[in-house]
Structure 1
Amino acid sequence: MSDGLLYEPKIADVHKPVAKKPSKGRTLTDIRTLARSHAGTAVDTLVGVMRSDEATPAARVSAANAILDRGCGKAAQPVENSEDGVLELIHRIERIIVHPQKPGVEES
């Protein structure tokens, strides 16, 4: 049984895997709380990229836009759906009254 091994493991040396507790899925509130706890670091990172001379211009602009979006809100986007730029909204409300018929009874 020596097959060239200096140490031959015994059954007592083999560890059984430890069962982990099933993890609960995180709720939306947990995720928001976690994200908010890292918000300061995230903004500092964006500012660092924006100010970095080594970052590409695209990365600097992207970081600046992200900072502005979070600090001032995203700019409103105009909505157009016709050639002259006028937004046309058409609402249709239709009321249908249905009288159920009893089986075997015909309308007169």
Structure 2
Amino acid sequence: MSKTITEIRSIARGHTQTAINTLVGVMRSPKATHAARVSAANAILDRGWGKAPQALQNGEDGALELIHRIERVIVHPDEEHDEQES
């Protein structure tokens, strides 16, 4: 990770309390729109409790089936070179 990204994260985290206070202020403000209040409330809940799990739908009969495949292939440089010449 580059130093710049680390510095940006550090600066942003330094403003956490102010950001939370701002979200709480919007959430509690009777002058804020309902959409703004709900958005602020959701942001607070997401940060405090994590985002709620969401089911993935494939548009057919149910949840989308996800298949993960990890394949490890060990290639020796000499063998790879021999295969390319063939």
Deviations 1:23-60 (A, max 9, x none): xxx61110000000000000000000000111111110
Instruction: Report the equivalent of 1:36.
Output: 13
The structure number with the bigger radius of gyration is: 1
Query: Which is helix-richer, 1 or 2?
Result: 2
| Preserved contact between residue 55 and residue 63 of structure 2 (Cα < 8 Å) | no
Quote the sequence identity (%): 65
Stretches of structure 1 that go unaligned for 5 or more consecutive residues are 1-25, 102-108
- Structure 1 residues 11-90: aligned runs within 5 Å: 27-81=4-58, 83-89=60-66
Runs in 1 of length 4+ with deviation above 4 angstroms? Answer: 89-93
Aligned residue pairs total 72
What TM-score, normalized by structure 2, do the two folds share?
Answer: 0.70
Across the aligned residues of Structure 1 and Structure 2, the Cα RMSD in angstroms comes to 2.5
Change (3 A) 1:83 1:37: same
Deviations 1:46-78 (A, max 9, x none): 000000111111110110011011111011111
